[in-house]
Each structure stands twice: as structure tokens, then as C-alpha cells.
Amino acid sequence: MKDAEYILFLRKGKARSIYTLGAHTVIECNNVRGKRHPTEKPEPLLRQLIEASSLPGQIVFDPFAGSGSTIRAAESLGRVGIGVEIDTDY
């Protein structure tokens, strides 16, 4: 059983500073209980990544939206969340 997952944290264009101070290379977070999607990520983790990479009012796009946890996290931080999901069950 894996106890870690790798996350690719990418940006388009020139390199920019991370918006939150104290960002870490390793982020510890409890797993989601009662998942709605098999690969659902914890919203506290998503909020931390969204805060580090965007400002309020900016767009956060999730091309594999699944249960929508990224969209919920983005909107809770005042971002515009846009998600796409091909599986109609989600």
C-alpha cells in the first residue's frame, strides 16, 4: 500500500514566485474518508496548492474533475473553478 502520492505542480509561461510563503516540498495530509471518486484528493491539500499558485478571482481549471473537489476548493478560496469530466457518473 502506498503512503505517498506524487503531484505535478505546473504553470504555463514564465516562472513566477509561489504566492504563499512557507510552501513545502512534502505536504502531509489525511486521506479522504468516504470517497466519491477513487482518486479524490483531500480538499485541504487542494486549497494549499491553489493558494500557492493563484490569486482570488483567477481561474482554476481541472480537466479531470471527478467528484469536483478541486472546483469546490477553488471556489471556497474565491477563485473561478472550471471542471471537465467525461464520466457521467461523476
pLDDT for 29-86, tens place per residue? 777 777 887 777 888 989 988 988 889 999 999 999 988 999 999 999 999 999 999 9
Say what the pTM is.
0.77
Phi, psi of 81, deg, nearest 5:
-95, 130
Provide the grid cell at 9.
Answer: 505542480
Provide the grid cell at 23.
Answer: 510552501
Query: Which residues share a beta bridge with 62?
Result: 83
CA distance 23 to 76: 20
Domain boundaries, the chain: 1-90
Asked if 49 contacts 7 with a C-beta cutoff of 8 angstroms, the reply is: yes
With b meaning 16 or more CB within 10 Å and e meaning fewer, what string describes 49-68?
A: bbbbbbeeeeebebeebbbb
Q: Does domain 1-90 have CATH number 3.40.50.150?
A: yes
